[in-house]
Chains A and B, each alone.
Chain A
Amino acid sequence: MTSSAWADALLVAVVLAPLATMVLAVAVAAPNHDQRWTIGGCAIAAMGAAVLLVSGQHPHVSRLAPDDVALAAAGATAFLAIGVRASARAPTVAAAVTVVTCGIASGSPGHPSTVGPVLAIAAAIVLLTLTHGPGRITIAALSTGAVVVAAGVRTGGHGGAAAVIIGVALVGIAASISTRRAINLLTPLALLLGLHVAPALTDTAQARWLAVALGVAGAGLALLRAIAPRGAAPALCAALVPWTLAAAVGPLSGTGVAARALAAGTVIALALGGPLALLAATPGGALLAYAIADGQGWPRPVLAVLVLATVFGLTQGHAGVTAARLRVVDVIAIAGGAWFVLRPTSWTWTRVAGLRAYSDGAALAVASALIAGVLVAMTGGRPATEPLASWMVAGEDQDSSPPARLGPGMVAATALTGLIAAALVRSARL
C-alpha cells in the first residue's frame, strides 16, 4: 500500500471539491443556471481520483482509505456527474458527489467499509430526490434497495451477504434505468459495494442460486427492452448491472475475474448511453463467457441460456438512436471506452487475466481496419462515420422516467427510508 502526503491531500480535494464549489457558488451569489461551478468541482474530483489511481497511491485520511476499485468508482461518480444532462445538473448533484465519494472511500487500509456505502446510498437518495430527477417508482425501488442492503449488512453471514447483493442490484438497476441522470451517480457506489461483499459468497450454494436469479433479472431487462414500446424501455446498460453482480458472487470458477471488467464496462456504457456503448462490456462479457464455457455443474447451462437471452434481447428491438451532440465529456468517455475494449489488461485495477488472444485479435483488427479504411478512402470511398456519434451517445431527449412532482410526502418518505437504513446499520459489531 503506497501512500504519501500529497496523495492524502489530493484525496481530501477529491472528496471536498464538488461540495466546496457549491459553497463557493453560493458565497459569490452565482446564478442558479450557472453550472460551471458544479462542472469544475466534479472535474477536479474526477481528475484527482484518476491521478491517484494511475500513480498507484492508496491514501489514508481519517476513516477514508480507498483501494484501487474505490478510486476508480470515485472518479467514475464525478465523471458521471459532469455528464448529467444540463437540465438536471443542479448544485445538489455536486453535494451528492461528495456524499457518494465519502461512502466509496470509507474504510481502513485493506478493509473497505460496508457501512459507509450503505449510509451514502441512503443520504444520496435523499439528496437526489431533491433534484426532481427520479420518478416515483425509481425512488421507491432505490429506497427499498437501501433498506434491503442495510438489513443485509446488519444480519451478516452468507444470508446477509446475499441480501446485500440483492439490495445493491435493486439500487444499481434503478439508478441506471435511464442515462445522463443525476441518479446514475448511485451506480458506481452500488457496484462497488457488491464487488466488496460478493466474494464472501464464492463457491457456495447461495452464490449459484443468486447468480441465476441475477441472470434472470439481466435477461429480463434485456428482453423487456426488446418488447417494450419506445420511451418506456429501460436503458441498455441496466441489464449489465445484474450480470456484474452475478459474476462477482462467483457461481463458477473464473467468473469473479469478469466482475470488475463488467463493472467498468457498465459505467462507461452508462456515461455514454448509446446502443454501441455496450461494446465497453466486451472484455467483461468475454471473460464471463469463458468462465461459463469452462464451468461445471448445473449453473453452467442455465447461465449460458440466460447470457444468450440477454445478448438476444440487447440486439433486438428498436435501437433507440436519437440525434446526439458530442460533448467533450463524451469524447473522453469514448476514448476511455475504446482504450478499455482494445487493451483491457492495461487497466490494472480490473485485474483481468487470460485475455491475451483477445488483445492480440483486437490489435490485429484495428490495424487491418485502419489499412482497409485508408485504401477505401484512397479509392474514392466516403467515410460514413458521422452516424457513429448517434449510436454511441444518448440524445438529450432520451428519457424513460418522467420527473416526479416533489411533495412534502415524497421528501418525508425518502428521508424516513434513509433513517431506517441508518438505524439498521447501527449495531455493536459495526
Chain B
Amino acid sequence: MPRAALLAAAFALAVTSRGDVVVLTLLLGFGAARRASGLASALALTAAFVRWGSPALGAIAGGQAVLGPAGWTGSAAAVASAWCSAFALVFAAVSWPVAAATAPAPSRRDRRQRAPRTLAASVYPVAPFAIAAADVVVGPAPGGALALRVLASVIALVVTTLVARWRSLPLLACTSGALALLCAGLAR
C-alpha cells in the first residue's frame, strides 16, 4: 500500500504541475522502490530544473506555456536535454511486481502461461513516470498548448506501459538522465 499511495501522490503532482522537482523525485523513487529509478528520476528532473532555472513544476509548465514546449524550443542542447529527461523517466518506470521486472526475460511459452495482468494494474505504477516525462518535454500550463500536453501525456502513457511490460531498463534510464543533465548544463 505505501507504494500505491506514493505513486498516487506523484501522479497528482505531475498532472497538476504543483510542487517542486525534489518532492516529485522522492515520490517517484520511493514509489518505484528501485534505486536506479530514483537516481534516473533525480537526474531527469534536475535537468529540467537546470534548464528552466526553477525547481517549481508550475514554473517549468509556465515557462513552456510562454516560450513553447521544451521538446522543440531553444538551443539544440536544451531540446536534447528535454528529450533525454523524458526517455530517462520512461525507462525508469517499473511495473508490478518488481521481482518479475528485474528477472530475466521469460520465454514465449512462459509469457502465455503467466496470469494476465489487468490494464489498471499495468498502467497505475507507470502513469506518474509517463506524466512526468510528458511534463518535461511537452508540458505547458493552461494558457499554452494544453491540447498538446494532453496528447503527449497519452502517448507517453502508452509508450511507458509497453516499455515497462517489455523489460526493465535501469542502466539506460540512468544514462539518459545523466545525458539530460549534461545537456542542460551545456544549454545554460
Q: How far is the CB of A261 from chain B (nearest CB, A)?
A: 12
Select the stretch in B17-25, B79-87, B95-103, B152-160 that faces chain A: B17-25
> Across the interface, do B9 and A365 meet the contact criterion of CB distance under 8 Å?
yes
Say yes or no: is B90 at the interface (Cβ < 8 Å to chain A): no
CB-based nearest A residue for B24: A361
Say yes or no: is A326 at the interface (Cβ < 8 Å to chain B): no
Say yes or no: is B129 at the interface (Cβ < 8 Å to chain A): no
| Residues in A neighbouring B172, C-beta threshold 8 A | none
| Residues in A neighbouring B23, C-beta threshold 8 A | 358, 361-362, 365
> Across the interface, do B22 and A376 meet the contact criterion of CB distance under 8 Å?
no
For window 44-68 of B, CB contacts with A under 8 Å fall at 46, 49-50, 53-59
Known: A357-B58, A361-B23, A364-B13. A369 touches B5 (CB 8 A): yes
Q: How far is the CB of A345 from chain B (nearest CB, A)?
A: 13
Q: How far is the CB of A407 from chain B (nearest CB, A)?
A: 44
Contacting A293 at CB < 8 Å: which of B5, B50, B59? B50
| Residues in A neighbouring B16, C-beta threshold 8 A | 364
> Across the interface, do A361 and B1 meet the contact criterion of CB distance under 8 Å?
no
Say yes or no: is B171 at the interface (Cβ < 8 Å to chain A): no
Select the stretch in A41-49, A210-218, A331-339, A382-390 that faces chain B: A382-390
CB-based nearest B residue for A384: B1
Residue-wise interface mask of A (295-312) relative to B, using a CB-CB cutoff of 8 A (1 in contact, 0 not): 000000100000010011
Contacting A285 at CB < 8 Å: which of B1, B8, B22? B22
> Across the interface, do A373 and B5 meet the contact criterion of CB distance under 8 Å?
yes
Say yes or no: is A371 at the interface (Cβ < 8 Å to chain B): yes
Expressed in whole angstroms, the Cα–Cα distance for A290 and B52 within the complex equals 12
Expressed in whole angstroms, the Cα–Cα distance for A356 and B18 within the complex equals 10
> Across the interface, do A311 and B42 meet the contact criterion of CB distance under 8 Å?
yes
Residue-wise interface mask of A (359-370) relative to B, using a CB-CB cutoff of 8 A (1 in contact, 0 not): 011101111111
**Majority SS of interface residues in chain A?**
helix
Known: A286-B55, A289-B55, A293-B49. A361 touches B19 (CB 8 A): yes
Say yes or no: is A205 at the interface (Cβ < 8 Å to chain B): no
| Residues in A neighbouring B11, C-beta threshold 8 A | 368
Expressed in whole angstroms, the Cα–Cα distance for A299 and B14 within the complex equals 32
Known: A301-B185, A357-B57, A357-B59. A372 touches B20 (CB 8 A): no
Say yes or no: is A424 at the interface (Cβ < 8 Å to chain B): no
Q: How far is the CB of B92 from chain A (nearest CB, A)?
A: 14
Say yes or no: is A381 at the interface (Cβ < 8 Å to chain B): yes
For window 80-137 of B, CB contacts with A under 8 Å fall at none
| Residues in A neighbouring B1, C-beta threshold 8 A | 373, 376-377, 381-385
CB-based nearest A residue for B184: A293
> Across the interface, do B8 and A361 meet the contact criterion of CB distance under 8 Å?
no
Say yes or no: is A203 at the interface (Cβ < 8 Å to chain B): no
Say yes or no: is B77 at the interface (Cβ < 8 Å to chain A): no
| Residues in B neighbouring A365, C-beta threshold 8 A | 9-10, 12-13, 19, 23, 27
| Residues in A neighbouring B140, C-beta threshold 8 A | none
Say yes or no: is A294 at the interface (Cβ < 8 Å to chain B): yes
> Contact residue range for chain B?
35 or more
Q: How far is the CB of A396 from chain B (nearest CB, A)?
A: 25
Q: How far is the CB of B2 from chain A (nearest CB, A)?
A: 6
Contacting B55 at CB < 8 Å: which of A290, A368, A383? A290
Expressed in whole angstroms, the Cα–Cα distance for A385 and B1 within the complex equals 8
Say yes or no: is B26 at the interface (Cβ < 8 Å to chain A): yes
| Residues in A neighbouring B19, C-beta threshold 8 A | 357-358, 360-362, 364-365
Contacting B4 at CB < 8 Å: which of A279, A301, A376? A376
Say yes or no: is B6 at the interface (Cβ < 8 Å to chain A): yes
Q: How far is the CB of B96 from chain A (nearest CB, A)?
A: 13
> Across the interface, do A372 and B5 meet the contact criterion of CB distance under 8 Å?
yes
> Across the interface, do B38 and A315 meet the contact criterion of CB distance under 8 Å?
yes
Contacting B35 at CB < 8 Å: which of A282, A315, A377, A383? A315
> Across the interface, do B53 and A294 meet the contact criterion of CB distance under 8 Å?
yes
Say yes or no: is B179 at the interface (Cβ < 8 Å to chain A): no
| Residues in B neighbouring A382, C-beta threshold 8 A | 1
Expressed in whole angstroms, the Cα–Cα distance for A371 and B56 within the complex equals 24
Say yes or no: is A3 at the interface (Cβ < 8 Å to chain B): no
Say yes or no: is A348 at the interface (Cβ < 8 Å to chain B): no
| Residues in B neighbouring A290, C-beta threshold 8 A | 55
The 4 closest A-B pairs by CB, nearest first: A361-B19, A372-B8, A357-B56, A368-B12
Given contacts A279-B26, A285-B22, 14 further A-B contacts (CB under 8 A): A289-B49, A290-B55, A293-B55, A315-B39, A357-B18, A357-B55, A358-B19, A361-B22, A361-B23, A364-B13, A368-B11, A384-B2, A385-B1, A388-B2
Q: What are 30 inter-chain pairs, A to B, with CB distance below 8 A?
A: A279-B26, A286-B22, A289-B22, A289-B49, A290-B55, A301-B185, A308-B43, A316-B35, A357-B18, A357-B19, A357-B58, A357-B59, A358-B19, A358-B22, A361-B18, A362-B23, A364-B16, A365-B10, A365-B19, A368-B11, A369-B5, A369-B8, A369-B9, A372-B5, A373-B1, A373-B5, A376-B4, A376-B5, A381-B4, A385-B2
